[in-house]
Amino acid sequence: MKLCLFVLATAVLFSLVVADLTLTPFGYISKKCVFYVPEEQFVEDLQSLSVIKNLATDEVVKVVKPCSTPIQKRTTEFPEGWSAYVYAQATASIKQYNGSWIVPAAPGDQESQVLFLFTGLQNSYDLADVAGVTNIIQPVLQWGQSEAGGGEYWALASWYVDSNDNAYYSKLTAANAVKPGDRIQGNMYYTLASKVWIIESIDETTHTPTTLKIATNTTEPYAFVTLEVYNVDSCQDYPTGTVPFTHLAFDHFTPSWSTEATPGCGEKVSVGSATAVTITF
């Protein structure tokens, strides 16, 4: 009887934990660990904790303690997490990374899948398998529903995951503001005077921007171009075709890209040059 009660209590606890989880470009984490940051504020990552501050006055708006909920991943025959990506390491901290890509068509099946396409910078390589203690800054194109919002349409938001697994995001663009064929510009640049990173996700076709500001207090020598996916249960959950990332430009180095992929539906990434990478569904 005691064993049955223990099993029941464990099942209830697990269901409560799962119910508390929400989706980010860092995977499923607790809703309590994800924060919207308006443009007049910025996040400072102090490693032991983070603070959200007023950009104009430097006043602390919120103290964010380390997230205690572990990242959750599904068991699935299809890719879950980083499905296809390239990476490169600079010999010194990158201070600027710009690039553009084209919004693909809508997926063939429109169900519960979530697709993230982004460029990004990290202070270490550990996060490539959604594990380890590190940070990542990223301008993100998403299909589906994340904690930032969304639905059965493409949308943009800028994201940051701090050293303690908390996630922060800018305002998500409105429904249908981003359409297939639009050109996306992702900019990440470090402002020396304020020591703050500006993360810009811009639909250049419609002139729609969304921006997040971050002080990481770490170097960012690792660069990525990534397809990240969740709740993909069939190959029709993807668009067809390719997403070309072009005009990939840095402040001081020319990347020699390495490729990684875990294909379930032929997902792959190919390198055309230091400035051009293509993701194929």
What is the mean pLDDT of each successive set of 10 residues along the chain, which is 281 residues long? 38 46 91 97 96 97 86 58 94 96 95 96 70 81 97 97 94 96 98 94 97 96 96 92 97 95 88 98 89
Asked if 47 and 215 touch (Cβ cutoff 8 Å), the reply is no
pLDDT at res. 150: 97
Cα→Cα distances 240→12, 182, 208, 225, 270, Å: 40, 16, 25, 19, 16
> Is 238 inside any structural domain?
yes
pLDDT at res. 80: 79
pLDDT at res. 133: 59
The number of residues making up the chain comes to: 281
Range of the domain at 110: 78-213+220-280
pLDDT at res. 78: 62
Distance CA 25, CA 71 (A): 11
What is the total count of domains within the chain? Answer: 1
> Is 70 inside any structural domain?
no
Distance CA 279, CA 261 (A): 10
Residue type for position 271: V
Distance CA 237, CA 281 (A): 10
Sign of torsion, CA 192 197 203 206?
negative
> Is 57 inside any structural domain?
no
Strands 222-230 and 81-89 turn out to be: antiparallel
The DSSP symbol for 220 reads -
pLDDT at res. 11: 36
> Is 29 inside any structural domain?
no
Distance CA 168, CA 163 (A): 12
> Is 247 inside any structural domain?
yes
> Is 15 inside any structural domain?
no
Distance CA 276, CA 100 (A): 9
In degrees and rounded to multiples of 5, residue 12 shows phi and psi of -65, -45
Distance CA 153, CA 95 (A): 32
pLDDT at res. 72: 57
Cβ neighbours around 240 below 10 Å, total: 12
pLDDT at res. 265: 87
- The residue written with tokens 């990552």 in the block is 45
Instruction: Give me the CATH number covering residue 108.
Output: 2.60.120
The DSSP symbol for 233 reads -
> Is 26 inside any structural domain?
no
